[in-house]
Amino acid sequence: MTTMTETSARFREFKMPDVGEGLTEAEILKWYVQPGDTVTDGQVVCEVETAKAAVELPIPFDGVVHELRFPEGTTVDVGQVIIAVDVVPGGGEAVAEPVAPAAAEPEPAAEPEAPKGRQPVLVGYGVAESSTKRRARKSTEPPAAAAAAIQGELNGHTTVAADVPAPATTVVPESRPLAKPPVRKLAKDLGIDLATVTPTGPGGIITREDVHAAAAPVPAPASVPTAPAAVAEAVAVPVAAAPVPGARETRIPVKGVRKAIAQAMVGSAFTAPHVTEFVTVDVTRMMKLVAELKEDKDMAGVRVNPLLIIAKALLVAIKRNPEVNAAWDEANQEIVQKHYVNLGIAAATPRGLIVPNLKDAHDKTLPQLAAALGELVTTAREGKTSPAAMAGGTVTITNVGVFGVDTGTPILNPGESAILAVGAIKLQPWVHKGKVKPRQVTTLALSFDHRLVDGELGSKVLADVAAILEQPKRLITWA
């Protein structure tokens, strides 16, 4: 099914889609159009916020906006109509008819009940197919045309005409594998040919899990449940209502990202047994390396900062201790070791804190890692981070030091095995070569899932990161 309906031959409606595979609601943040505006197929008409991210919604047909059903700031259930469009402007005196219940209409013939499940639409997924039987349409598209329409929606456009019935000529759809744009990007990032992937989604759709399964060196007997992506987005800043003068309290509704992150953090804290270890390390040599790299012509055009070296140090530590890069599969009672590292990086944005991840960070050279970090942070601060960029992380770095904090005990992202917190780098007295000298010092904290990582392994990873930051030449000798 699609997320649009016809109220008459003139007006078409667009429903709130599920833009995140399983979400039930979204908040309308901003309308980019108003009644009377002309819209074209693929034009973004609004921005919505879900438990995963802020997403722009394109309209899948041409016309003139007739009505916006909800104002900005309204939380709308998936499947509700959010906008009505006049697809034949000036083509009659009819007005948009409300959608009448199917039972109120005469039903000369009923279609056979459609298969249950969610079908892909222009953005994300539509709502589940209702069991209510609807009146048969007088004109339907041939199967080939319907398949082409579905493929068009997956590719970001539509082939549905405004109000002209499809011609009787049979259209042969492309043999291109069915997959949503984020899944296609994931496959591209992982170097996977979608034609070689076995689809498991409804209607032969290739899912993220299918791509990850194809990328795994050894096929797993069962796929690992995807970690709640809400955790990858971390904390969003709730908008407080204007305080009433003299009021001693202000109540803020828990919804959207805040609601999802609360559920995910509680689930993580009470599911994975957390252990946090700390180490204080002299990073004076690392800071000198950062200063030298800023002048290196090979690093021209990319941002060089302590986070770059810390990220590289963690990647080397994981390479030396690969068992730490794993996930717990509760359903199958298995530990799934990852042979790739999708490195999550916390990024402060005007909308709050999100944690996108760098895909296959372990394969990147230092200049490539610097460029990817810069692009990740810039995209996040512009509010353009996609849900796909925040899914599939394996380990995470959170830099609490930017706030002047020495350290913390970070909570794991569900589905991940470890998270490294980096404290503020401060000039402190330190014993160096037998003498007390002012040195640049920081504190690292590593939280890990004790089901996957025992004390010895966790200690080795943290010690390796600290050793690299203290003696950066180990990036060469250990790598």
3-state secondary structure 305-354: CHHHHHHHHHHHHHHHCHHHCEEEECCCCEEEECCCCCEEECEEECCEEE
3-state secondary structure of 421: strand
| Distance separating alpha carbons of residues 49 and 269, to the nearest angstrom | 25
Instruction: Give every CB contact of residue 243 below 8 A, 6+ residues apart in sequence.
Output: 250
Number of neighbouring beta carbons within 10 Å of residue 33:
18
| Distance separating alpha carbons of residues 56 and 442, to the nearest angstrom | 40
432 annotated active-site: no
Signed CA dihedral, 86, 87, 93, 97: sign only:
negative
Catalytic residue among 157, 339, 432, 450: 450
Number of neighbouring beta carbons within 10 Å of residue 164:
9
The two structure tokens encoding residue 23 = 């979400």
| Distance separating alpha carbons of residues 98 and 81, to the nearest angstrom | 11
Active site residues: 450
